């Protein structure tokens, strides 16, 4: 539930916004486990049950002061209160006795956070603007699913980030060329990461825990150009560099603590880019027909939370095509589209199963279809 209030005061010199937020979620989940064929075949059958309640409340306020017609400053803050409870219990059916964790583990935890935002922007004219921004972010803590020991039920704490940005938004050549540039640097603390720990029987168990921190930095450039009427070209390029701090832990659950500061962030390639074009083929009394082509590039990346060779995915590029018709009233559209038309194969993720097996999720294949839309 969200409540909003906003206004402009002092003849438009101050714009302000107030938001109150409330969220409550209850979940119940049962994981059935059959060991050695299950209870009916000389083994054992166990239901692992969990019941959790999440409550989150927050108050957010922001104001923007227009010091002059060209210069503005902004400031804001958010206070958050989180509360989570987690009740995990195992129910074993008739079968082979299984030495396991306590039958019921109950965990309760509260967190609170205040995050700040500051910024300023300056307009040289109606087509060019520069800005700077500082913001603090907060990602709530949580509970371990299906803990098998009291030690393994320890909640993980929130992670926080301090973000710094500087950039420009510009239009040139009578608005036929747009160039936007953004440079950023982020400093994370208590970063949440999945680590391996020893479980019952010597197997490894993956738990979410906090590590000291990390930094990310990079830039993004976006361009849109209209060299001639009916043709629009667009493109973007982004660079990201990540670096862990103090990431010393047993990540595989082998009992060996290692220095993991060389790990890359998962799903965070150094380079990504896009290029596309829209060509208006018809624009008259019968409607409008636009042909579009888009190319996206994703650089080499890690597709698992731990740096292992099997999770190193090579760079790849995808091509999408579409042909869209809009009727003269601009109410109805019909589009023919093709996604990943050259059927490029890549892996979206990999997972390990107790360090015994590796599974991978493959990319969606080439797909084609038709969409129809209407405005009311």
Would you say 234 and 211 are in contact if contact means Cβ atoms under 8 Å apart? no
What's the rounded mean pLDDT across residues 210-224?
97
pLDDT at 166: 98
DSSP string, 114-174: EEEEEEEEEEEETTEEEEEEEEEEEE--B--SS-SSSGGGPPBPPEEEEEEEEEEEEEETT
What is the DSSP code (8-state) at residue 246? S
Q: Which two tokens stand for residue 360?
A: 């991978």
Residue 97 has pLDDT above 70, yes or no: no
User: Which one has a higher pLDDT value, 15 or 272?
Assistant: 272
What is the DSSP code (8-state) at residue 260? -
The 10s digit of each residue's pLDDT in 236-293 is 999 999 999 999 988 877 778 899 999 999 999 999 999 999 999 999 999 999 999 9
Residue 78 has pLDDT above 90, yes or no: yes
Would you say 142 and 153 are in contact if contact means Cβ atoms under 8 Å apart? no
Q: Which two tokens stand for residue 62?
A: 């922001």
Please work out, in degrees rounded to the nearest 5, the angle formed at the alpha carbon of residue 247 by the alpha carbons of 246 and 249.
125
What's the rounded mean pLDDT across residues 119-140?
97
Say what percent of the chain tops pLDDT 70.
89
pLDDT at 200: 47
What's the rounded mean pLDDT across residues 144-157?
82
pLDDT at 201: 47
Residue 13 has pLDDT above 50, yes or no: yes
pLDDT at 105: 87
Q: Work out the pLDDT band at 368, boundaries 50, 70, 90.
A: very high
What's the rounded mean pLDDT across residues 184-212?
79
Say what percent of the chain tops pLDDT 90.
71
What's the rounded mean pLDDT across residues 34-55?
79
45 exposure class (CB count in 10 Å sphere: 0-12, 13-18, 19+): buried
Rg (CA), the chain: 26
Listed in sequence order, the residues at least 6 apart from 88 whose beta carbon sits closer than 8 Å to its beta carbon are 48, 49, 50, 51, 104, 105, 106, 145, 146, 147, 153
What's the rounded mean pLDDT across residues 345-351?
93
pLDDT at 45: 78
């Amino acid at each position: 539930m969200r409540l909003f209030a906003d206004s402009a005061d002092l003849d438009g010199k101050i714009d302000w916004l107030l938001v109150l937020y409330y969220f409550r979620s209850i979940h119940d989940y049962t994981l059935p486990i059959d060991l050695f064929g299950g209870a009916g075949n000389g083994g054992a059958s166990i239901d692992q049950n969990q019941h959790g309640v999440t409550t989150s409340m927050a108050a957010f306020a922001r104001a923007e002061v227009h010091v002059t017609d060209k210069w503005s400053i902004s400031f804001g803050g958010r206070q958050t209160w989180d509360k989570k409870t987690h009740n995990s219990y195992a129910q074993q059916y008739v079968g082979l006795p299984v030495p396991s964790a306590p039958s019921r583990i109950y965990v309760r935890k509260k967190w609170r956070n205040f995050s700040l935002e500051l910024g300023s922007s300056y307009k040289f004219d109606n087509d060019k603007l520069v800005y700077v921004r500082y913001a603090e972010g907060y990602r709530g803590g949580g509970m371990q699913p299906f803990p098998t020991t009291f030690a393994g039920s320890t909640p993980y704490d929130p992670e926080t980030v301090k973000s710094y940005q500087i950039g420009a938004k510009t239009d040139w050549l009578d608005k036929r060329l747009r160039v936007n540039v953004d440079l950023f640097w982020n400093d994370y603390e208590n970063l949440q990461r999945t680590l391996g720990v020893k479980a019952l029987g010597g197997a490894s168990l993956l738990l979410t825990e906090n590590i000291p921190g990390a930094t990310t930095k990079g830039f993004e450039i976006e361009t849109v150009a209209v060299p001639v009427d009916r043709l629009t070209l667009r493109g973007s390029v982004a660079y990201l560099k990540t670096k862990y701090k103090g990431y010393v832990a047993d990540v595989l659950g082998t009992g060996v603590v290692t220095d993991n500061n060389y790990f890359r962030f998962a799903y965070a390639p150094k380079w990504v880019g896009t290029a596309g074009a829209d060509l208006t083929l018809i624009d008259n009394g019968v409607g409008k027909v636009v042909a579009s082509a888009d190319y996206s590039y994703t650089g080499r990346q890690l597709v698992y939370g731990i740096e292992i060779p099997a999770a190193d995915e090579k760079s790849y590029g995808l091509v999408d095509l579409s042909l869209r018709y809009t009727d003269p009233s601009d109410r109805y559209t019909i589009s023919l589209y093709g996604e990943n038309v050259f059927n490029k194969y890549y892996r979206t993720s990999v997972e390990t199963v107790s360090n015994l097996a590796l599974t991978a999720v493959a990319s969606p294949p080439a797909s084609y279809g038709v969409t129809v839309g209407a405005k009311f």
